[in-house]
Structure 1
Amino acid sequence: MKKVKFCLIGAGRAGMVNARNFEFNIAESEVVAVVDSNLEAARKAAEELNTNDYYGSFDEALIKSDFDAVCIGAPTFVHCEAVVKAAEAGKHIYSEKPLSISLEEADKMERVIRKNKVKFQIDFMRRFDKNFLRAKKLIEDGAIGTPILIKSVGRGPGLPPEWYADLKKSNGLLAEVNSHDFDSMRWLIGGNFKQVYALADNFKLPQYKEKYPDFYDTAAVILKFENGVLGVVDGCCPATYGYDVRVEILGTEGMLQIGSKQAYSVMVWNKDKNLISEGNQSWKTLFKDAYEEGARHFVNCILINSEPKVGIIDGKKAVEIVIAANKSIKSGKPIDL
């Protein structure tokens, strides 16, 4: 049986979630090389992933290892360079979101991907989650009539790394956390963004205020789609209490909700009349199956030569709305797309 061989670029949390799926959970794929600027991190990841090949640079991996595809889990500000090098080497590309820092980078990535005819999938895992898929089908079947308003909550629990606080390297919370909200909203209601108005502030991380004056940890975004649907995104990181993902869609004939605050359907009702349940704490557990299904889909696309369901255009649309929202935050005005 032919296996798709992967090189992991970036051995951090997101990269390792996908790499473990390619190595351990999908029979048709394996990880044969690991790249990380921290060579010790690369060595430890390679040991876990059953490969002897680890490097401090992607250039070295391209010379010394044989692989078919890359899995990019490195920070956003290196995505463009990694994608361009991979595509020019004829390697298929599975990339963590956000796609890029700028639309210019995104355009460059699209050109090189199309020129070299390699497969590209961005890791918008909600599109492979059974609950989001069920909601999509219900909307298409008319279960709530015509959608008129969509609200999405996306809050991450922990303190982000310092590079994330520099909007020149990350585009901030709306990119690093809420890209998923923007993509899933656009996908669920079947329309592109038309206008955005956003407000944001730094409420939780005063240590960043002087060095990174543009940094924000909480944002409220109002959207209008080309098909007339209205939208709201509520984002925060660090939320501290848990990983909170919920979507509500109002239609002309009903409403639909996706997501739950509870990690499990088990709840304790005790003698003190308290209801006790455990909240979601990590994206890695909440979307465990979705990450695996997304990775499996990409491997299958390579093997049967088909196009991934979520690709470069979807990544670009998310970058576009994030940049527009950040412009709105700075200007205090709505931005047309």
Structure 2
Amino acid sequence: MKKKINVCLIGMGRAGMIHAKNFATRINHGTLVAICDPSQEALAAAEKELGVMATYTDYREAVLAPTIDAVVIVTPTIYHKEIVLAAAAAGKHILCEKPLAMNEAECDEMIAAAKQHKVKLQVGFMRRFDESFQQAKAIVESGEIGDVVLVKSLTRGPSHPKPWMFDIRNSGGPIGEVNSHDFDTLRWFTESEVANIYAIGGNYRSPEVQADYPDYYDTVSMNLSFKNGMIGAIDGAQYVQYGYDARVEILGTTGNIMIGEQHKQKIVTATRNGQLIRPAMHSWTYLFEDAYIREDQAFIEAIIHDTAPLVTGQDGKMAVKLVNLGLRSLLEKQVVYAE
């Protein structure tokens, strides 16, 4: 394998631009050579900012370009499968943002295609590349907190839901939109698969959509049992308004680990009326900026050294499975058992 990997970014939205900027300037042995998006407006804006020479409006044309070695897919989930299959058939290595696909069957097709065409398939769970998460993983593996008993993870986003998110058959609600990362976090730290899951939730911040979308929920709490006996807890929420919030606790038999905090900066202002003010974390793009760089670098290293990605297609598939199980439990109001 050559020592310089040429990358095409497919999907020029907010997350797409994070990866694009990384590959344009920050990734060793990897470089952004092309971008692709069906929107001419999005392409023009990205081209101006990134300075790339090659642009495409059709991913089918992009993956056939001989100058491209790998693609990063940051499109709506509904398009992931068809792009991954096309890229794999063209011999391009693939970094696909989460969720990997709409369902497990699609994931299986994508994993099989990558294996058949001997290309890497990495899934975009960037938290595994965050320095604090990796340190916590090393501490767990060292036995410093004893045996893991309970892993709790939460993700809460500040933004008002987009109109399409109110239909949870399309969006999955918080379970699909924000908790994919939490499912992957729990699987990573427990090193086990889920045996059963129970979810409860409600719509507390958008009562105006209740009549049109009676199943919509903006807050969810889930309890999980793992096949190795460990237990887990996840909560997710949209439109919390106070800031972006992602935290984890790992409880062992002899200690615990806390990852994350709500604060953006290590500065506290004391005011004359006796208040202490500290800015809250405002965005996942800021909180996980370094993790995205590490994730993109790891993708290139896996290609160059022909090693397995840290986050595999199977990891992506299991997160998709848990999202669907969690949503089913919420709607059926009962414990759901994994097969």
Shift of 1:295: 0.5
C-alpha distance in structure 2 between counterparts of 1:79 and 1:217, whole Å: 25
The alpha-carbon distance between structure 1 residues 39 and 308, as it changes in their structure 2 partners (threshold 3 A), is same
Aligned to 2:41: 40
1:172 aligns with 2:143: no
Identity across aligned pairs (percent)?
A: 41
Mean CA deviation greater in 31-40 or 309-318: 31-40
Shift of 1:216: 2.2
C-alpha distance in structure 1 between counterparts of 2:72 and 2:112, whole Å: 19
Shift of 1:307: 1.4
C-alpha distance in structure 2 between counterparts of 1:69 and 1:311, whole Å: 16
The answer on whether the counterparts of 2:166 and 2:213 sit within 8 Å (CA) in structure 1 is: yes
C-alpha distance in structure 2 between counterparts of 1:211 and 1:38, whole Å: 31
C-alpha distance in structure 2 between counterparts of 1:190 and 1:315, whole Å: 15
Aligned to 2:98: 97
Structure 2: which 5+ residue stretches go unaligned? none
Amino acid of the residue matched to residue 237 of structure 1? Answer: Q
Shift of 1:109: 0.8
Shift of 1:276: 1.1
Aligned to 2:282: 281
C-alpha distance in structure 1 between counterparts of 2:149 and 2:163, whole Å: 38
Shift of 1:17: 0.6
Aligned to 2:113: 112
Shift of 1:76: 1.1
SS of the counterpart of 1:151?
Answer: strand
Q: RMSD of the alignment, in Å?
A: 1.7
C-alpha distance in structure 1 between counterparts of 2:38 and 2:242, whole Å: 32
The alpha-carbon distance between structure 1 residues 6 and 212, as it changes in their structure 2 partners (threshold 3 A), is farther
Shift of 1:225: 0.8
SS of the counterpart of 1:95?
Answer: strand
Shift of 1:110: 1.1
Question: Where do residues 234-249 of structure 1 align in structure 2 (5 Å cutoff)?
Answer: 234-249=235-250
User: C-alpha offsets along residues 216-245 of structure 1, whole Å, 9 cap, x if unaligned?
Assistant: 221111101111111111100122111101
Shift of 1:336: 0.7
The answer on whether the counterparts of 2:63 and 2:86 sit within 8 Å (CA) in structure 1 is: no
Amino acid of the residue matched to residue 98 of structure 1? Answer: P
The answer on whether the counterparts of 2:111 and 2:121 sit within 8 Å (CA) in structure 1 is: no
C-alpha distance in structure 2 between counterparts of 1:72 and 1:145, whole Å: 39
Amino acid of the residue matched to residue 50 of structure 2? Answer: L
SS of the counterpart of 2:256?
Answer: strand
The answer on whether the counterparts of 1:39 and 1:55 sit within 8 Å (CA) in structure 2 is: no
The alpha-carbon distance between structure 1 residues 66 and 166, as it changes in their structure 2 partners (threshold 3 A), is farther
Aligned to 1:296: 297
Shift of 1:175: 1.9
Structure 1: which 5+ residue stretches go unaligned? none
1:21 aligns with 2:16: no
Amino acid of the residue matched to residue 11 of structure 2? Answer: G
C-alpha distance in structure 2 between counterparts of 1:128 and 1:2, whole Å: 22
The alpha-carbon distance between structure 1 residues 108 and 172, as it changes in their structure 2 partners (threshold 3 A), is farther
Shift of 1:164: 3.6
User: C-alpha offsets along residues 106-126 of structure 1, whole Å, 9 cap, x if unaligned?
Assistant: 111111111111101111111
Shift of 1:213: 4.0
SS of the counterpart of 1:45?
Answer: helix
Equivalent residue pairs, number: 337
Shift of 1:60: 2.8
Q: Please report the TM-score for the alignment, with normalisation by the length of structure 2.
A: 0.94
The answer on whether the counterparts of 1:76 and 1:170 sit within 8 Å (CA) in structure 2 is: no
1:50 aligns with 2:48: no
Shift of 1:212: 4.2
Amino acid of the residue matched to residue 282 of structure 1? Answer: S
Aligned to 1:193: 194
SS of the counterpart of 1:307?
Answer: coil
Aligned to 1:230: 231
The alpha-carbon distance between structure 1 residues 109 and 119, as it changes in their structure 2 partners (threshold 3 A), is same
C-alpha distance in structure 2 between counterparts of 1:211 and 1:20, whole Å: 40
Aligned to 2:219: 218
Mean CA deviation greater in 24-33 or 99-108: 24-33
The answer on whether the counterparts of 2:64 and 2:90 sit within 8 Å (CA) in structure 1 is: no
C-alpha distance in structure 1 between counterparts of 2:260 and 2:16, whole Å: 24
Aligned to 2:324: 323
Amino acid of the residue matched to residue 127 of structure 2? Answer: R
